[in-house]
Chain A
Amino acid sequence: MKLNQDELDMLLQTVKIEANEEEATKLQNDSIKLEDWFASIEEMNTEEVAPTFYNYYGGNVQREDNPRVASEEKKKKLFNIAENFKEGFYRVPPIIE
């Protein structure tokens, strides 16, 4: 849980967040605090306890995946709030310069 500089750099790259030196130091310190805080939960005996991943009537549930096509009107509204949407595509800067 505790992050060294290399691990933090890798995570910042993964989550796509630029952080300055002060922020990076804070994040490293936060990882230490969280490791200490979460220590007691690590020690709990949860052998043979099934995980919960969603709450519905107190139990896990998975429904059939029934994909729906959004209305054209809704799609248009979504596209309209993008700054650069043209000819059916979001335009982004080049991936490789």
Chain B
Amino acid sequence: MKSEDMSIEETVKAISNNEFTTEEVLERKLSRIKSIDEQVNALVSCNPEKVLQNAKEVDTKINSGDSSALPLAGISIACKDNICVEGYSTTCGSKALENTPSPYTATVVEKTIQNGGVVIGKSNLDEFGLGSTTLTSEYGCTCNPLALDRVAGDGSAAAVASGQAMIGIATDAGGAVRQSATYCGVAGLRPTAGAVSRYGVALSTSSVSQVGFISKYVNDFNILMELLAGFDPCDSSTVDFPGVLPFDKKEKLVAGIPEKTWEDMDKDQEIALQSTRDLLNTIGIELSSVNLPNFKAGLKAYYILALAEAYSNLSRFDGIRFGYHYDGGNLEDWYLKTRGKTFGEEAKRRVVMGANILKEGNFYDYYQKALQVWTLVKNDFYRALKNCDFLVLPVNRDLPTQVSENINFLEHYKRDEYCAPVSLAGLPSISMPIVEKDNLPRGVQLVGKPFQEKLLVSIATELEARRSYSLKSLV
């Protein structure tokens, strides 16, 4: 088996058996990046010298008899460019942060490196992470490795799908990890809120964003959660236990299927849902109807919060402490010009509309209302999960957008319809492709109870083994 086709477990085992070295694995990844990233544009930055130096350090530790302490040895990681990694800039896909060095390394990346993982590069994203297409990135759009005329959604997913990295570490607010993974034919995990540290991560929608993972193989998520989840003294929003519950296999599992037809959904996505229901039947999982009456309102509540939080969270980008700036005559001109000339259209829209939502006269009608709808949406999920072990939901409403397509901003927002309510509920979710048509995957997301990522991985592994889909990158 080639190292490109291996899971984390297989790669680490092969390295410890001296089948190849970490340096050799990383050299192959760098060569892959060199040959295809011009077409895909998954990575914003990559420093081959640093990558090889880090790989050599891992090999040195292994040769000194330390391999058991490195359960991620040889694993190449693409980190979304809103996650700080010392030695790399963190641009958040914006001109406002062009060439801004990371002052420290995010906890989740620090843990990855301590376990033998090597950061292969920083991956592309929408400006400040405000979207799931990369169409608003200062560094151009990331193309889908399965269909280069379509978006990938997120650079990390494209990097994993095209073999430039084994694992993607990315952020998911309204669904970036889950949607992009399915767009690119790989798997995405959004962990339970509070399970994985967000220290060192620049978030625009901070109340619901989580750090998630992307991989070709769902089983990798168990290893990543065991190693990377848990309490972080630098992030008070993390839980004070290891962050993932052990999974006791039950005799009979029940899948909750929402009692509603998914309006406006591409009919091929419905085929993925039906196929999943059939596969679950095959593996002996009982299907049960559940009701999520406020699901549809979740998207709008999410966007009210996202706009308000963008206004607040982007206020720090003024070019004084870090980032790009335009000189003005006085401080006021400095602010106006710096933010006016470096923020893109979507960032400006979110900041202005966020301020509008929070102003007197709108606050109670919109912001307060959204916080209350958040409660309703969350309660629906918790009620539904009392009678089942996990839920099966769609992940994408449509196929990935065409790169050249000019879509109204609201249409982009509506693409988060199935992921944003799950984000509000703070529950773990795995998205994965199930079927394909015209080489484009259609998938589902499995949504579990808090900290039951391992149960989701176990079910997703069964689906992975039986689904008709198999990844075939175009490039």
Chain B residues lying within 8 Å of A23, measured Cβ to Cβ, are: 345, 348
Given contact pairs A83-B325, A93-B329, A49 touches B375 in the complex (Cβ within 8 A):
yes
Q: Could you say which of B61-69, B100-108, B133-141 contacts chain A?
A: B100-108
Q: Is the beta-carbon distance between B352 and A17 smaller than 8 angstroms?
A: yes
Cβ contact of A55, chosen from B321, B325, B426, cutoff 8 A: B426
Interface string of B320-353 (1 = CB under 8 A from A): 1110010111111111110111010100110111
Most chain A beta carbons < 10 A, residue from B239, B300, B368: B300
What separation, in Å, do the CA atoms of A78 and B355 have in the docked complex? 28
Q: Considering the chains assembled together, what is the distance between the CA atoms of A63 and B237 in angstroms?
A: 9
Which residues of chain A have C-beta atoms less than 8 A from B362's C-beta?
Answer: 1
Decide: B237 and A31 in contact? CB cutoff 8 A: no
Residues of A within 8 A of B331 (CB): 92-95
Contacts across chains A and B counted by CB atoms under 8 Å: 165
Known: A1-B366, A15-B351, A27-B348. A55 touches B334 (CB 8 A): no
In the assembled complex, the Cα of A82 lies from the Cα of B446 at a distance in Å of: 44
Write out, one digit per residue, whether chain A residues 60-97 have a CB within 8 A of any chain B CB (1) or not (0): 00010010000000100110111100000010111111
Tell me the bound Cα distance from A30 to B348 in angstroms: 11
Please judge, given known A-B contacts A92-B320, A94-B331, whether A55 and B193 are in contact too, CB under 8 Å.
yes
If the complex has contacts A11-B355, A17-B352, are A58 and B366 also in contact, measured as CB distance less than 8 A?
no
List residues of B (291-342) whose CB comes within 8 Å of A's CBs: 297, 300-301, 303-304, 307, 311, 315, 318, 320-322, 325, 327-337, 339-341
Q: What's the nearest-Cβ distance from chain A to residue B296, in Å?
A: 8
Chain A contacts with B in 23-63, Cβ cutoff 8 A: 23, 26-27, 30-31, 33-34, 37-38, 40-42, 44, 46, 49-58, 63
A21 within 8 A of B: no
Question: Whole-angstrom distance between the alpha carbons of A90 and B318 in the complex?
Answer: 12
Do B378 and A58 touch across chains, with their CB atoms under 8 A apart? Answer: yes
Residues A52 and B318 in contact, CB atoms below 8 Å apart? no
Contact B348 A50 (CB under 8 A): no
B369/A94 in contact, CB under 8 A:
no
Cβ-defined contact, A52 with B378, below 8 A: yes
Q: Which residues of A contact B311 (CB under 8 A)?
A: 15
Are A46 and B373 in contact, CB atoms less than 8 angstroms apart? yes
A16, B348: Cβ atoms closer than 8 Å: no
State the Cβ distance, B198 to closest chain A Cβ, in Å.
12
In the complex, A11 Cα to B336 Cα: how many Å?
A: 12
Residues of B within 8 A of A52 (CB): 371-372, 374-375, 378, 424
- Taking CB atoms, residues of chain A closer than 8 Å to B334 are 92-93
Name A79's closest neighbour in chain B (CB-CB): B321
A1 to chain B, nearest CB (A): 6
Query: A6 in the interface, Cβ–Cβ < 8 Å?
Result: no
Q: Are A81 and B375 in contact (CB under 8 A)?
A: no
**Contact residue range for chain B?**
35 or more
Instruction: Give B108 Cβ to nearest chain A Cβ, in Å.
Output: 17
CB distance from B316 to the nearest CB of A (A): 12
Candidates A26, A27, A51, A83; contact of B371 at CB < 8 Å: A51
Which chain B residue shows the least CB distance to A28?
B352
In the complex, per-residue mask of B184-197: 1 if CB is within 8 Å of any chain A CB, else 0: 00000000011000
Query: A97 — which chain B residues lie within 8 A by C-beta?
Result: 329-330
Contact partners of A27 in chain B: CB under 8 A: 348-349, 352-353
Residues of the A chain whose Cβ atoms lie less than 8 Å from the Cβ of B378: 52, 55, 58
| Cα(A15)–Cα(B353), bound, Å | 10
Instruction: Indicate if B129 sits at the interface (CB-CB under 8 A).
Output: no
CA distance A83 to B300 in the complex (A): 40
Instruction: Please give the distance in Å from B302's CB to the nearest CB on chain A.
Output: 10
Neighbouring B residues of A41 by C-beta, 8 Å:
297, 300-301, 304, 366, 369-370, 373
Contact A15 B352 (CB under 8 A): yes
Verify if B412 is at the interface (C-beta below 8 Å from A).
no
Distance between A19 CB and nearest chain B CB, rounded to angstroms: 6
Known: A27-B353, A38-B303, A41-B373. 6 other contacts (CB 8 A): A15-B339, A37-B413, A41-B300, A54-B237, A63-B236, A90-B320
Top-4 shortest CB links A-B: A18-B340, A51-B371, A55-B426, A46-B372
